[in-house]
Chains A and B, each alone.
Chain A
Amino acid sequence: MTPTTETELAEAIAAANGPLRIRGGGTRDIGAPVDGAPLTTAGLTGVTLYEPGALTLVVQAGTPLDEVEALLAAEGQRLAFEPGDMRALLGTEGTPTIGGVIATNASGPRRIQAGAARDFCLGVRFVDGQGQVLKNGGRVMKNVTGYDLVKLMTGSWGTLGVMTEVSLKVLAIPETEATLVCADESAETAVASMAAALGSPFDVTGAAMMNGQTMIRVEGLEQSVAYRAKALQDGVLQGFDIVEGAASARMWADLRDLTPFAGKEGAVWRISVKPSDGPALVRELGALSPEAIFDWGGGLVWLRVADEEDAGAQMIRNDLSHMGGHATLVRASAATRAAVPVFHPEPAPLAALSRGLRAKFDPRGILNPGLMGA
């Protein structure tokens, strides 16, 4: 089903007599496989409102992400949370939609400085599991009127409701950017360099280690970027080289889309930890012979391991139970994803709350049932 209006979508859900497999463009095929009738929001397209002077965009959920980005770029603006394109990594086809970005809370390297998709989503309209059209939030940047269901819907992977329209805060594209790079640091030293840069007053907007290279990004007005890059180079990042403009942008696009893992086989984990724990975690998982990419100052670890047995799930989650954090199996064979909880199992009291919420939003349990786990 590809409804083209919110009303049609609501009617389709109300009339459904079994599970539905909810998709935007179907490019972020993550989660336990869902056996259900396909329902996509790709037919709900169009911009409802765009006010560059108020930094706000209201858009239908099925609108292609590249259309949204082109519209914003024409006004010198962008989605600051830097959502990635997962097609190459996951081997999916189709067109990423803005609704899919919000439903999965897809956030890239700038998350550490600007925030995640959840921090830029101002309002949602959605259809719940009974076919009711609901709204929460609005289109203004500060809004504490009632409960914040916008955050709850962001990253709920279509399990609480099907989003039809989202309001977003957008930001200006900076004049320029520069990246400080260093090729020969260990993961521990790299994360220490990242911490020093993020702890400086120079407004770092990216801190990562990819292909053995430490990368620290600054963005903004030209003079300011030059000043801050130099200040970092003279200060906490001595020995780093400066890469500017388009060359810098390419590095971060590769990181955002996980290009280094795209052409390689194996399961891929996305692990969120306390930044200083990142290198230690990878070391402890040595038995899995992992390949690691560190983002978010060390706090986001992308881990490529062999897609065998449980793809390291037990070992990884056992370590995290001591450290704190969570691990999502973003890429693995259907068999592995059916056998291993793709999303990090929640502690019992939180799992009970999540179950309770799903029972309220989707009492019949038909929206992407089981995708995020029990």
Chain B
Amino acid sequence: MQMPTPNAAILARKDQIVKRLQSVLPEGAVVHDPFETRAYECDALTAYKCPPLCAVLPASTAEVSAVMRICHEEGVPVVPRGAGTSLAGGALPTADSVILGVARLNDVLETDFANRIIRVQSGRTNLSVTGAVEEEGFFYAPDPSSQLACAIAGNIAMNSGGAHCLKYGVTTNNLMGVTMVMADGEVVEIGGAHLDAGGLDLLGLICGSEGQLGIVTEATLRILAKPEGARPVLVGFDSNEVAGHCVSDIIKSGILPVAIEFMDRPCIRATEAFAGAGYPDCEALLIIEVEGSEAEIDDQLSRIVEIAKRHNPVELRESTSAEESAKIWLGRKSAFGAMGQINDYMCLDGTIPVSELPLVLRRIGEMSKEYGLDVGNVFHAGDGNMHPLILFDANKPGDLEKCEAFGADILKLCVEVGGCLTGEHGVGVEKRDLMVSQYNQSDLEIQLAVKDVFDPDWLMNPAKVFPLSTTETRRAS
């Protein structure tokens, strides 16, 4: 994986740049000691590391604006960082860049239950947004699995999803407004407590733009009333294909579960060995969760069970209590940890049309043999968002490269069958060079033109999302 050569002129001016940044921030908010900047050398894609020129930790929109103005004047690239949980390298610095971390922007600014909104500073963690409203019976719906740690700023940058988005949508469907600092330090307000834009949908454009169009410092989020309850059913099948058909039939029946999770045999075995959730030893397993009152849940689950039975399940376990629900979810929730115990792994994020599930799983199995690397599949089946986990040994020379090549082949397959490279993690650096398999040159050029409008000097997270060769002249100018 290649990153641009750092600008020597910027490296040479480090002291001067740090001094200017210190002049607009409180003491301790500029991290520049080469030992300390290593804390910012990577995000959750740990295979690639590079300490930044320095990191800044502003605590207000005004401070962010002051930082951006200086970086703009100095021509220094800025890499925004939420909580650093990106699996795609979205917050990976270059040596000549300033990391702008939002960790100190973590206040709740307003809760308004009559209007069902919360306004927060963007460094606030996802789960703590729900934490701020749950006593009143509300929650914030998008729930990426990193929700304990990940920040709203990163959720907005990557348009994060989660297990429950089949019913509630992803970040973009729950974001109502932002305060954003532009590349030159100008502060803009987009959207707010009202729905939908009067003019062009700039909010929709900003969500998912991976920190390349501006720094979101505050966000107005939609909150929802918590349902009365939720319960899952677990169904085991002796083939992936049949499990795939069952998913499709449930969706066609008109029931909208909040989550349909899928695990294949390698993943089931690994989690059983790790967590002992009592899963059946079968080819494919579905966890389907529905919400409502007790009676509503019973009604929906009985309809789902009826559909599942038509597909000859090898196991059918309907939860009747909170304890049983927890046990059903235990294996799924420990799947990543279980795979991690076996070896290093790389987690992919391609999305496919649900109808292509059996074909894609079969091809992944074949490729796994060709590459000689094991892979387990655990994913959100309702919306086709796959998370193949490829196991490799980071200490074995050549294994990482082999794993990346395998991953790239899987993602290209996702695009081939009508899907996309990334469903919720973002492109970052990880999938940057694969963008050409999904979009042709004109499709990419219009996206680059959008960035030209927001960030004419290409200083915001410039080495991400697009293949470096397509952005080279823009970054150099």
Q: Mark A45-71, 1 if CB is under 8 A from B, else 0.
A: 000000111111000000000000000
| Contact (Cβ within 8 A) A201 B355 | no
User: Is B248 a contact of A274 with CB atoms below 8 Å?
Assistant: no
Whether A350 pairs with B188 at a CB distance below 8 angstroms is yes
Closest to A75 in B: B252
Name A346's contact: one of B199, B256, B352 (CB within 8 Å): B199
Asked if B447 and A149 sit within 8 Å, CB to CB, the answer is yes
Chain B nearest CB, measured from A81 CB (Å):
11
Task: Specify the chain A residue showing the minimal Cβ separation from B223.
Answer: A199
Tell me which residues from 407 to 433 in chain B have a Cβ below 8 Å from any Cβ of chain A.
418-427, 431
B351 and A141 contacting across the interface, CB-CB below 8 Å: yes
**A134-B446, A149-B447, A151-B205 given; A324·B192 CB < 8 A:** yes
Pair A325/B194 contact, Cβ less than 8 Å: yes
Given A227-B295, A361-B446, verify A148-B208 contact (CB < 8 Å).
yes
Q: Once A and B bind, how many residue pairs between them come within 8 Å at the CB atom?
A: 264
Considering the chains assembled together, what is the distance between the CA atoms of A276 and B193 in angstroms?
10
Compute how far the CA of A360 lies from the CA of B452 in the bound complex, rounded to whole angstroms: 9
Q: How large is the interface on A (under 10, 10 to 19, 20 to 34, 35 or more residues)?
A: 35 or more
Pick the contact of A53 from B169, B227, B354 — CB < 8 Å? B354
> Is B199 in contact with A54, judged by CB distance below 8 angstroms?
no
The answer on a CB contact under 8 Å between B186 and A349 is yes
* CB of B472 closer than 8 Å to a CB of A: no
What residues of chain B lie closer than 8 Å to A139, measured between beta carbons?
353, 418
Per the bound structure, the CA–CA distance linking A211 and B248 in Å amounts to 42
Q: Please judge, given known A-B contacts A141-B384, A346-B198, whether A174 and B254 are in contact too, CB under 8 Å.
A: yes
Q: How far is the CB of A135 from chain B (nearest CB, A)?
A: 6
> Are A221's CB and B300's CB within 8 A?
yes
CB of A213 within 8 A of chain B?
A: no
Tell whether A185 is near chain B: CB-to-CB under 8 Å: no
A361 to B446, CA, bound (A): 7
Instruction: Let me know if A162 is at the binding interface, CB within 8 A.
Output: no
Contact B422 A145 (CB under 8 A): yes
Mark the stretch among B48-56, B92-100, B321-329, B437-445 that contacts chain A: B437-445
Specify which chain A residues have a CB less than 8 angstroms from the CB of B240 in the assembled complex.
none
Q: Is the CB of B208 within 8 A of A147?
A: yes
Pairwise interchain contact A138-B420, C-beta atoms closer than 8 A: yes
Q: CB of B453 within 8 A of chain A?
A: yes
Per-residue contact bits, chain A 221-255, to B (CB 8 Å; 1 contact, 0 not):
10110010001000000000000000000000000
Does residue A105 face the partner (Cβ distance < 8 Å to B)? Answer: yes
> In this assembly, does B39 line the interface, its C-beta being within 8 Å of a C-beta of chain A?
no
Interface positions of A from 347 to 362, Cβ below 8 Å from B: 347, 349-351, 353-354, 356-357, 359-361
User: Which B residues are CB-close (under 8 A) to A357?
Assistant: 200, 450, 453
Q: Is residue B91 contacting chain A, with contact meaning CB distance below 8 A?
A: no
Q: Do the beta carbons of B384 and A275 come within 8 Å of each other?
A: no
**In contact, A54 and B453 (Cβ under 8 angstroms):** no
Is B391 engaged at the interface, CB distance under 8 Å to the other chain? no
A205: which B residues are within 8 A, CB to CB? Answer: none
Considering only residues 193-237 of chain A, those with a C-beta below 8 Å from chain B are 195, 198-203, 221, 223-224, 227, 231
A13 to B435, CA, bound (A): 28
| A299 beta carbon closer than 8 Å to chain B | yes
Does A302 lie at the interface of the complex (its beta carbon under 8 Å from any beta carbon of B)? no
Contacts of A268 in B (CB 8 A): none
Cα distance A136–B355 in the bound complex, in angstroms:
21
Residue B383, interface by CB 8 Å: yes
Contacts of B196 in A (CB 8 A): 105, 107, 111, 116, 118, 155, 272
Q: Which B residues are in CB contact (< 8 Å) with A51?
A: 353-355
Partner of B190, one of A105, A132, A202, A350: A350
Which of B20-28, B108-116, B231-239, B337-345 is the contact stretch? B108-116
Residue contact A173 to B293, C-beta cutoff 8 Å: no
Q: Which of A53, A112, A148, A343 contacts B172 (CB 8 A)?
A: A148
Could you tell me the distance between the alpha carbons of A218 and B253 in the complex, rounded to whole angstroms? Answer: 19
- A135, B199: Cβ atoms closer than 8 Å: no
The minimal Cβ–Cβ distance linking A277 to chain B, given in whole angstroms, is 8
Chain A's closest residue to B168 (CB) is A115
- Asked whether, in the complex, the Cβ of A223 is within 8 Å of the Cβ of B295, the reply is yes
CB distance from A222 to the nearest CB of B (A): 9
Are the C-beta atoms of A54 and B354 separated by less than 8 Å? yes
Tell me which residues from 129 to 181 in chain A have a Cβ below 8 Å from any Cβ of chain B: 132-136, 138-152, 154-156, 160, 171-175
- Which residue of B has the minimal Cβ distance to A221? B299
B443 near A134 with CB under 8 A, answer yes
Chain A CB within 10 Å — which of B116, B254, B384, B421 has the most?
B254
Tell me, in angstroms, the Cα distance from A343 to B196 when the chains sit together: 13
Known A132-B442, A139-B353, A141-B351; contact A299-B195, beta-carbon cutoff 8 A: yes
Which A residues are in CB contact (< 8 Å) with B34?
none
Residue-by-residue, is A74-86 near B (CB-CB < 8 Å gives 1, otherwise 0)? 0110000000000
Interface residues of B in 151-189 (CB under 8 A from A): 158-159, 161, 165-166, 169-170, 172-173, 182, 186, 188-189
Knowing A142-B351, A349-B186, A360-B450, say if A136 contacts B116 (CB, 8 Å).
Answer: no
Contact of A145 among B169, B383, B435 (CB under 8 A): B435
A288 within 8 A of B: no
From the candidates B172, B249, B254, B421, name the one contacting A151 in the complex (CB within 8 A): B172
User: Which A residue's beta carbon lies closest to that of B452?
Assistant: A360
With CB as the reference atom, state the residue of chain A lying closest to B248: A53
A56 to B380 Cα, complex, angstroms: 16
Decide yes or no: A76 and B254 within 8 Å by CB, A140-B353, A151-B172 being known contacts: yes
Which residues of A sit under 8 angstroms from B161, Cβ to Cβ? 142
* A256 adjacent to chain B (CB < 8 Å): no
**CB closest chain-A residue, reference B380:** A142
Q: A224 to B292, Cβ gap below 8 A? A: yes
Within 8 A of B (CB), among A262-305: 272-276, 296, 299-300
Residue of A nearest to B212 (CB): A147
A36 within 8 A of B: no
Task: Decide if B65 is an interface residue (CB 8 Å cutoff).
Answer: no
Sample of 11 further A-B pairs with CB below 8 A, known A343-B198, A360-B449: A54-B353, A134-B442, A136-B447, A138-B438, A152-B202, A199-B137, A224-B295, A272-B198, A326-B198, A350-B188, A353-B188
A-B pairs with beta carbons under 8 Å apart, 28 shown = A118-B201, A134-B442, A134-B443, A138-B419, A140-B384, A142-B170, A142-B423, A143-B422, A146-B435, A147-B447, A148-B159, A149-B205, A152-B200, A154-B204, A155-B197, A200-B225, A201-B226, A275-B114, A326-B194, A328-B198, A343-B198, A344-B199, A346-B198, A347-B188, A349-B182, A354-B202, A357-B450, A372-B200
